[in-house]
Amino acid sequence: MRHGFRLSQFKENVQENLPLHGENGVATETRANDFVVFDHVQKSYDGVSLVVKDLNLTIAKGEFLTMLGPSGSGKTTCLMMLAGFETATNGEIRLDGRNINLVPPHKRGIGMVFQNYALFPHMTVGENLSFPLEVRGMGKDEREAKVKRALDMVQMYSFINRRPAQLSGGQQQRIALARALVFDPSLVLMDEPLGALDKQLREHMQFEIKHLHESLGITVVYVTHDQGEALTMSDRVAVFNDGKIQQLAPPADLYERPENSFVAQFIGENNKLPGVIEELSEGKALVRLATGELIDATPVNVTAKGQKTLVSIRPERVEFKPEMMPPGAHMIGAEVIEVIYMGDILRARLKVAGSDDFVMKMRNTLGQTKLSPGETIRIGWHPQDARALEPM
Ligand SMILES: Nc1ncnc2c1ncn2[C@@H]1O[C@H](COP(=O)(O)OP(=O)(O)OP(=O)(O)O)[C@@H](O)[C@H]1O
Ligand SMILES: [Mg+2]
Last residue of a domain, one of 256, 278, 303: 256
Q: Is 336 found in the same domain as 295?
A: yes
The rounded Å distance from CA 72 to ligand 2 centre is: 7
Give yes or no: residues 370 and 249 share one domain.
no
Residue nearest ligand 1's atom 31 by CA: 72
Report yes or no on 150 lying in a domain: no
CA distances from 131 to 15, 121, 123, 264 (A): 12, 13, 9, 45
Domain of 194, in residue numbers? 4-109+185-256
HSE-CB at 37 with a 13 A cutoff on CA atoms is 21
Query: Which pLDDT band, with edges at 50, 70 and 90, does 22 fall under?
Result: very low
Domain count, the chain: 2
SS3 at position 359: strand
Q: Which ligand is nearest to the CA of 240?
A: 1
**Do 198 and 66 reside in the same domain of the chain?**
yes
Instruction: Judge if 235 and 95 occupy the same domain.
Output: yes
- The model's pLDDT over 40-78, given as tens digits with 9 standing for 90+, comes to 999 999 999 999 999 999 999 999 999 999 999 999 999
Contact at 8 Å (CB) between 55 and 38?
Answer: yes
Choose which residue among 76, 81, 242 to substitute to test ligand 1 binding: the one with the highest number of ligand atoms within 8 A of its C-beta. 76
Q: Report the CATH number at residue 323.
A: 2.40.50.140
Q: pTM for this one? A: 0.85
CB-ligand 1 contact for 45 (6 Å cutoff):
yes
Residues 217-236: pLDDT tens digits?
Answer: 999 999 998 999 999 999 99
In a domain, 308, yes or no: yes
Shared domain for 273 and 248, answered yes or no, is: no
For residue 109, give every residue at least 6 positions away whose Cβ sits within 8 Å of its Cβ, in sequence order, or none: 20, 183, 185, 186, 187
223 shares its domain with 278 = no
Question: Domain check: are 292 and 233 in the same one?
Answer: no
CATH number (domain holding residue 104): 3.40.50.300
- Asked if residue 238 lies in contact with residue 248, where contact means CB atoms within 8 angstroms, the answer is yes
Integer Cα distance of 359 and 336 in angstroms: 10
| Per-residue pLDDT tens over the stretch 348-376 | 999 999 999 999 999 888 777 789 999 99
Closest CA to 291 of 348, 387, 247, 355: 355
Rounded to the nearest angstrom, the distance between the alpha carbon of 28 and the centre of ligand 1 is 32
